């Protein structure tokens, strides 16, 4: 497995397919996408796991983490998250955070992320803010 830097146009189709397939592609865009770093993992040449990261000061925020359903549970998301934690720790970031879908909380808790605050909703999907000190 190898994490590579991608363009936002490379990650949008996966975001859409995995996170918001019932919405228009534009719904999967982030206002500040042009300021983010976009990463992906390929399998047999096809992008199957993507994430976008946004840095501000000592904080880094994960947005739109998505793995194609056929590849869930095969270690791609784990590999990506470990890569990101290591990368941003080396860069001197101290806070790593994101809004996680409630259905994915257990996955993130395995990496030491903790829930902060109350449940929130995005298009009727429940989320929690999760934070980890690096």
Give the percent of the chain with pLDDT over 70: 100
Question: How many other CB atoms are found less than 10 A from the CB of residue 27?
Answer: 12
Integer Cα distance of 15 and 131 in angstroms: 22
What would the mean pLDDT of 14-33 be, rounded to a whole number? 91
pLDDT of residue 95: 98
Residue 24 is predicted with a pLDDT of 87
Full set of structural domains in the chain with CATH: 3-133 (3.40.630.30)
In this structure, are residues 27 and 20 in contact, taking their beta carbons and an 8 Å threshold?
yes
| pTM score | 0.92
**pLDDT per residue as tens digits for the range 76-130:** 999 999 999 999 999 999 999 999 999 999 999 999 999 999 999 988 999 999 9
What is the pLDDT averaged over residues 42-65?
97
Quote the CA–CA distance of 61 and 98 in Å, as a whole number: 5
């Amino acid at each position: 497995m190898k994490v590579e830097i991608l363009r936002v146009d490379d990650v949008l189709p996966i975001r859409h397919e995995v996170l918001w397939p019932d919405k228009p592609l534009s719904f999967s865009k982030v206002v500040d996408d042009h300021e983010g770093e976009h990463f992906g993992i390929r399998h047999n040449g096809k992008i199957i796991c993507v994430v976008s990261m946004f840095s501000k000061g000592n904080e880094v925020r994960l947005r739109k983490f998505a793995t194609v359903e056929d590849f869930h549970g095969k270690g791609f998301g784990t590999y990506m998250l470990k890569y990101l934690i290591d990368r941003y720790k080396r860069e001197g970031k101290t806070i790593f955070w994101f809004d996680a879908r409630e259905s994915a909380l257990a996955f993130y808790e395995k990496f030491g992320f903790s829930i902060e605050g109350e449940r929130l909703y995005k298009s009727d999907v429940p989320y929690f803010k999760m934070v980890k000190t690096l």
